[in-house]
Chain A
């Protein structure tokens, strides 16, 4: 009897899910290289599923393929929001293998990384066109946000009417200037955080639930 009840409950859950209006939204984590996208994706995934999404690195373009973590269930204020998190490669207009040589990388490895990073940008742009329902745009708050890449990507996101949150990352660093980030994109909400240190994650999850729930 218990088995039957369990089975019934399981079917009910599956049916609910099938016809729910709250299918998991696919949220793309976008931004320039080294903004902390993967660190954020890992933070979210670890907080709510226990698993990581991918390796983090201080070397730019560590993430060269989009990685997806499905069914991340975030609980906020007694409700739960389920999203699929897509960690995307950093978007840039130029990739140069010489940039990687500074990190003690062999030239052949640097060239390969450069090529893969370029493919990664293509993939990220394609995901943006086809497969995301919302965007978390991650910026390094110690860097100047007024760049062509940021302007263009935010413009594309706006043109698609996707819900977007700007995350000003790395507030644990002294040079962080969150005001500069929020004034660069005043039309969007900017959430300060440190994905690495886990600072202000409560607000991060509140906003994710609010925007993408």
Chain B
């Protein structure tokens, strides 16, 4: 399942490492699964944000953690769907959508930039606005080898995290009102925002959290694994073997079907 920046809606292919350095478009550090039926849901705004995946220190590897023992994945997915819809296409409730998007960004100030990822702050033009509200098609995404790009069976995929300070040239601050896009470090000046900077983790913590959330299988140490069941379930490709150095082999759906 692809991932999506909760701030600007930038879509990352499943397994992308790009997001580990923050969203290249808006610098946001919160992402969520993009459910396949994202456009199907309708209803009121999920202003409480229960479907988002705020990184927390103790969070186990399953990203869309069921809210309670009684909750279901379907509910979680439905909630996430609503959330995506609100953020991506939110115009009817634009104020809250915009506020929550920027609020999310400001909750983690400047983390995406500590990595040396220079981002140019610019006023939002129409193309950027379009990019922010539209969904990116796979062809438009950067040509970066990811597990999903594997077109060959049994292809060895580098699963280890590789820092990718990959901010694009067109950094988009997603605050539509341009209120603070003049500064060179927009995410540090968040005094006017409801969410403060007190929760900011350092970059390694953030990476660890994202790793926890988005990797299907995390090798903690030799012989010790943490599994992200939802991610494993959502993957099209099938991980058939692991190696201790962090590499794994996959079989893509076309080749593995019919036999097991």
A interface residue numbers (CB < 8 A to B) = 66, 68, 91-98, 107, 110-111, 114-115, 118-119, 121-123, 125-131, 146, 148-149, 151-156, 158-159, 184
Contacts and interface: CB of A to CB of B under 8 A. Distances in A.
B222 interface: yes
Contact of A126 (B222, B223, B227, B235): B235
B45 interface: no
A158 B75 CA distance: 10
Contacts of B72: 151, 154-155, 158-159
A97 B220 CA distance: 11
Given A148-B65, A152-B62, A110 B223 contact: yes
Contact of A118 (B74, B217, B234): B217
Given A121-B232, A122-B217, A115 B244 contact: yes
A123 B238 contact: yes
A91 B230 CA distance: 12
A159 B74 contact: yes
B229 A91 contact: yes
Contact of B224 (A97, A125, A129, A154): A97
A184 B69 CA distance: 9
Given A125-B233, A156-B73, A114 B66 contact: no
A65 to B, nearest CB: 9
B43 interface: no
A123 B224 CA distance: 18
How many residues of B sit at the interface, in one of the four size bands?
Answer: 35 or more
B149 to A, nearest CB: 19
B148 interface: no
Interface string B62-86: 1001100101111111000000000
A95 B229 contact: no
B57 to A, nearest CB: 17
B60 A148 contact: yes
A-B interface, 5 closest residue pairs, ranked by CB to CB distance from nearest: A155-B73, A97-B223, A111-B223, A155-B72, A159-B74
Most A CB within 10 A of own CB, among B225, B230, B240: B225
Nearest to A126: B238
A114 B225 contact: yes
B68 to A, nearest CB: 8
Given A118-B242, A122-B240, 9 more contacts: A93-B60, A115-B242, A122-B216, A146-B69, A151-B72, A152-B62, A155-B74, A156-B229, A159-B77
